[in-house]
Structure 1
Amino acid sequence: MSEVKDAVDPTGWLLDVDLSQFETYLGRTLPGFRGPVTIHPARAESLSTFIVSTPDTRFVMRRAAGLEREFRIVAALHQKGFPVPRPLLYCDHEKLTGTVFYMSEFVEGRSFEDPALPGLGNEERARIYDDVNATLARLHAIEPRVLAIDLGTGRNYVAEQVDRAIVRYKASGVTGFADMDRVAAWLPGHLPPDRPPRLIHGDFRIDNVIFDTTEPKVIAVIDWHQAGLGDPIADAVYHFMAWIKLGAGGVGGRAFTQNDFAELGIPTLEAYAGEYAKRVGLKTIPNFETYFAYNLFRMAALQGIVVPQPGVSKGRALAALAPLSAMAWAFARRAGAT
């Protein structure tokens, strides 16, 4: 008998889905599929990603509105040999699961929530970070035309993101955050020059990377829901914000120092950013501080800090806003804001 197992399911869809109908569909479309299935969220309270297990294997199911674009991106990347889970099918028959979904292979490997990579040795940490760096540079080196997908132009990416973030911030009605107001006033007039667009991930973090079970090697990058054409440097600096988190004590409540990075085998931000720049053919990361101000401001205003996501209280969201906006203004001042 099919079942829903350990399902912390905020959407409630698992309680209503007809699993026998779902199994019948997979039996017709997935070669070698054999039920029954067990379904559970891939992560705690996941809204869109689920593990579908059978007696023989496991799959990953992504279900949400507007997934065709994501599926096409992942399929194109897989065809070009970039490390992503192999996509298996896309289904727009919403009656099966309540919305469109796609299935991909389940990649067996290691994942890390903590960018400090606890439990690993120094050499392995260093090699993991180097391969993550190389993987991001490899993504940004892909010529968009070779993907053969219509993703728009990708022009004016940062400007459009800033405009959206400001609109969302003002619409929230939140007041009393002077640093947030300062960045919102300064940033639109001091944007980095528009760069040739590349495919960007949009949420490239170490916890969206799967590593080989024994080797310090990236075997899959996941969660492409924010992917599209855009500014690759903005995408890279978003990834670099892990160092800001470490330096601010966001992992285990302890702030990392330069000595801590050296002792753990984790490269410093300057060394890591320099290696990425070298890999993409740049001498340095241009407009470094401005890109940080942009990403911090966008994180606060656009990614749910001002307008909380489900399960995040308004008080918790506002408490997070003050340090984020202060850091955004600090980077803006380094870039010349007064």
Structure 2
Amino acid sequence: MSQLIATEPIARWIASLGIGAEGLVEFERVGAGQSNLTFLVTDAVGHRWIMRRPPLGKLLASAHDVEREHRIMSGLQGTGVPVPTIHGFTKDPDITDAPIMLMDFVDGRVLDSIEAVEAVPEETRRAIGLSLASTLGSVHEVDLVAAGLDDLASHAPYAERQLRRWHRQWEQSRTRDLPIVDDLAARLTAHVPEQREVSLVHGDFHLLNVITDADAGRVTAVLDWELSTLGDPLADLGGLLAYWPQADDEIVTGFRGPTMPGFPSRDELVAQYAATTGRDVSAIGFWYVLGLWKIAIIAEGVLRRSIDDPRNTAVTGQISSDLIDSLLARADLEARAAGL
């Protein structure tokens, strides 16, 4: 672990926080995340915490902003959104070469492997899936002023901001030429729906970014807020659908967990969200396609960082360019189905 972080000064910082850390503190890289790095922190008597820091090497501007993630999660403390308790943040160069944040370890299951999903009964899988949609609704009900997040980002139309931002990210991080990226950007730009409200947007909400109580069938913590911003709430719902393959999809992409028996369909997720929030979801086709396009660009950035600095490669291995191609092909299919 010493090749990733300077453990001794960070351990001293953790001991200074007054959270009961005792004795030798150990760090272990955990999770399948390939953006900000996540570490399990354990002390000599078994207390556990989670630490987050940016990836290693050269980063794109505004990406992997742990300080911003800390601000958002701190603002959400005590709201209806389930988030871990935050214990500390520092960017002191005597402690760390990059910003770090320490939070509670939340016990539960992250359904990030087929084996983890198989351990959950089918009826509980359905409850967890529907809980995802309901929990997303709670994110979008946050009072921005009360949470101190009203100035987190622009209140300007979100779709246009997203299209500009991610197209720029593509140009800065691509590993090859893929004309379909520009083609989809043009088609999305020509069909931007009217934005009626501004809410907190998680920006990367899906099954792998939540902790669940597999006995109660509900979400107990929402993680990975680094892409959170202000915008159209349906963008989050579209992103959830983009991460939710079905067994009958012509092109199945990403983690196959949601294709297993018991999980609700994409249509059922949309219906649950609409019932929970009362929102008009008629424009969801646009946001679903935008979600697929955005995930493909994010994946390309992950691939680029892994190529540039192999230490950033997740424990699950390097992202495949075939996955990115499949995401874009699926986006094209869904765009045609949505009339884009």
TM-score range for the pair, normalised by the shorter chain length:
0.7 to 0.9
| Alpha-carbon distance in 2 for matches of 1:126, 1:224 | 25
1:79 aligns with 2:82: no
2:306 maps to: 311
Contact kept? 1:154, 1:198, Cα under 8 Å: no
Q: 1:108 to 1:195 in 2, by over 3 A?
A: same
1:172-187 equivalence runs, <5 A = 172=174, 174-175=176-177, 177=178, 179-187=180-188
- Mean Cα displacement is larger for which, 245-254 or 106-115? 245-254
- 1:88 aligns to what SS in structure 2? strand
Q: What SS class does the counterpart of residue 305 from structure 1 fall into?
A: helix
Alignment partner, residue 24 of structure 2 = 36
Change (3 A) 1:94 1:276: same
The list of structure 1 runs, each at least 4 consecutive aligned residues, that deviate by more than 6 angstroms after superposition, is 251-255
Contact 2:244 2:258 in 1 (8 A): no
Q: Which residue of 2 aligns with 1:280?
A: 277
Aligned mates of 1:307, 1:126 — CA distance in 2: 31
- Counterpart of 1:277, as a letter, is A
Residue aligned with 1:187, SS: helix
- The change in CA–CA distance for 1:18 and 1:106 in structure 2 (over 3 A counts) is closer
Q: Does residue 13 of the first structure (1) align with residue 9 of the second (2)? A: no
- CA shift in 2, pair 1:131/1:321, >3 Å: closer
- Aligned AA for 2:146? V
Conserved 8 A contact 1:200-1:235: yes
Q: CA deviation at 1:39?
A: 0.7
Bigger relative contact order (CA 8 A; separation at least 6): 2
SS in 1 for 2:168: helix
Aligned residue number for residue 96 of structure 2 = 97
Shift of 1:136: 0.9
User: Match of 1:43, as an amino acid?
Assistant: G
- The alpha-carbon distance between structure 1 residues 200 and 254, as it changes in their structure 2 partners (threshold 3 A), is closer
Cα deviations by residue, 1:29-55 (Å, 9 ceiling, x for unpaired): 223221210111122686521111002
Offset of 1:306 from its aligned partner? 6.9
Which whole-Å deviations, capped at 9, do the CAs of 1:249-281 have from their partners, x for residues lacking one? 44787995xxxx7xx222221122111112111
CA contact (8 A) 1:13 1:98 kept: no
AA partner of residue 49 (structure 1):
T
Question: Residues 237 and 292 of structure 1 are in contact (CA less than 8 Å); yes or no, is this contact kept in structure 2?
Answer: yes
Stretch of structure 1 that moved more, 112-121 or 153-162: 112-121
The amino acid across from 1:79 in the alignment is: G
Q: How far apart in 2 are the matches of 1:45 and 1:286?
A: 32
Displacement of 1:334 in angstroms is: 2.5
- CA RMSD for the aligned pairs? 2.9
Unaligned runs of 5+ in 1: 1-6
Q: Is structure 2 residue 57 aligned with structure 1 residue 58?
A: no
Residue 45 of structure 2 is aligned to residue 25 of structure 1: no
1:312 deviation in Å?
Answer: 5.9
CA distance in 2, matches of 1:152, 1:68: 14
Q: Is the 8 A contact 1:210 1:220 kept in 2?
A: yes
Deviation at 1:291, TM superposition (A): 1.4
Give the corresponding residue for 1:4.
none
Name the CA shift for 1:290/1:242 in 2 (closer, same or farther; >3 Å). Answer: same
Identity of aligned residues (%): 26
CA displacement at 1:331 relative to structure 2: 2.3
Q: 1:169 to 1:35 in 2, by over 3 A?
A: same
Q: CA deviation at 1:335?
A: 3.0
> Could you tell me how far 1:217 is from its partner in structure 2?
2.2
CA shift in 2, pair 1:123/1:273, >3 Å: same
Deviation at 1:159, TM superposition (A): 0.8
Amino acid at match of 2:68: R
> In 2, distance between residues paired with 1:74 and 1:307?
24
**Counterpart position of 1:266:** 263
The residue number in structure 1 matching 2:241 is 240
The 1-side partners of 2:111 and 2:7 are apart by: 34
SS at match of 2:243: helix
Identify the residue that residue 119 of structure 2 maps to in structure 1.
119
The separation in 1 between residues aligned to 2:96 and 2:182, in whole angstroms, is 42
Residues of 1 paired with 2:7 and 2:67: CA distance? 23
Segments of 5+ residues of structure 2 without an aligned counterpart are 55-63, 309-317
1:330 alignment partner in structure 2: 333
Residue 70 (structure 1) shift:
1.1
- Distance 1:91-1:318 versus aligned 2 partners, 3 A rule: closer
